[in-house]
Chain A
Amino acid sequence: MNGTMEKPRLITPFNVIAGMILLFGGVIVVLRYAYGLAYATNLSNDTAWGLWTGFKLVFVALAASGYALTTAVYIFGMKEYHVLVRPAVLAGFLGYTLFILILLFDLGRGWRIYYPFLIQAGPTSALFEIALCVALYYTTQFLELTPVGFEWLGWKRWRRVLVSVVVGLTVFGLFLSMLHQSSLGALFLTVPGKLHPLWYSKYIPLHFFMSSCFGGISMVILIGLLCKRVWSHKMEISREKLDQLTIGLGKGAAIAMAAYFAVKVMDVALNDTWHYIFTPLGLWYLVEMLGFVLLPLFLYAFGYRERRPGLIRFSAVLAVLGVIIHRLNVAVIAFNWQMPLEQRYFPHWMEYVTVVFLITLGLAVFKFVSNHFAIVHDHPDYHAGH
Chain B
Amino acid sequence: MTISRRGFIKGAAVGTLVASTAKAGAVKHFAGHPDRMGLLHDTTLCVGCRSCEFACNQANGLPPPEVPVDDKKIFEKKRRNDDTLYTVVNRYEGGVYRKHQCMHCNEPCCASVCFVKAFEKTPEGPVLYDPDVCVGCRYCVFACPYNALAYEYDDPLEPRVVRCTMCYPRIKEGKNPACADACPTGAIRYGRREDLIEVARERMRKNPGRYIQHIFGEHEYGGTSWLTIAGVEFSKLGLPEGLSREPLPNLTTSFLSLAPLAAAIFPALLGGFYAFTKRREERAEEEKRAILESTRAEAKREMEEKVALLKAAAKKEQEHAVEQAVKDALREAAKPKPPEPPKKDEKGGAA
Contact = CB atoms under 8 A, between A and B. Distances in A.
Contact of A48 (B81, B141, B277): B141
A214 B2 CA distance: 48
A192 B143 CA distance: 9
Interface in B97-135: 109, 111-118, 133-135
A45 B160 CA distance: 12
Given A36-B155, A125-B113, A113 B135 contact: yes
Interface stretch (A58-66, A85-93, A172-180): A172-180
Contacts of B287: none
A46 interface: yes
A126 B116 contact: no
Interface string A157-191: 00000000001001100110011001100110111
A180 B311 CA distance: 76
Contacts of B158: 109
Given A124-B249, A125-B115, A193-B145, A45 B82 contact: yes
A77 B114 contact: no
B44 interface: no
Given A75-B277, A107-B135, A186-B252, A123 B14 contact: yes
B240 interface: yes
Interface residues on A, range: 35 or more
B259 A179 contact: yes
B252 A189 contact: yes
Interface residues of B, number: 63
A233 B154 CA distance: 52
A235 to B, nearest CB: 26
Contacts of A110: 135-136
A122 B116 contact: yes
B155 A187 contact: no
B251 A192 contact: yes
Interface string B60-82: 00000000000000000000111
A46 B113 CA distance: 17
Contacts of A77: 277-278, 280-281
A175 B109 contact: no
Given A76-B273, A187-B139, A115 B151 contact: no
Given A74-B274, A108-B159, 13 more contacts: A41-B153, A45-B82, A45-B141, A46-B80, A77-B278, A108-B138, A109-B158, A120-B116, A122-B114, A125-B112, A175-B267, A182-B255, A183-B256
5 contacts: A107-B136, A122-B114, A122-B116, A186-B255, A202-B251
- Nearest first, the 4 closest Cβ-Cβ pairs linking A and B are A108-B136, A36-B156, A77-B277, A48-B141
Interface of B: 9-10, 13-14, 16-17, 80-82, 109, 111-118, 133-139, 141-143, 145, 147, 149-156, 158-159, 240, 243-244, 248-249, 251-253, 255-256, 259, 262-263, 266-267, 270-271, 273-274, 277-278, 280-281
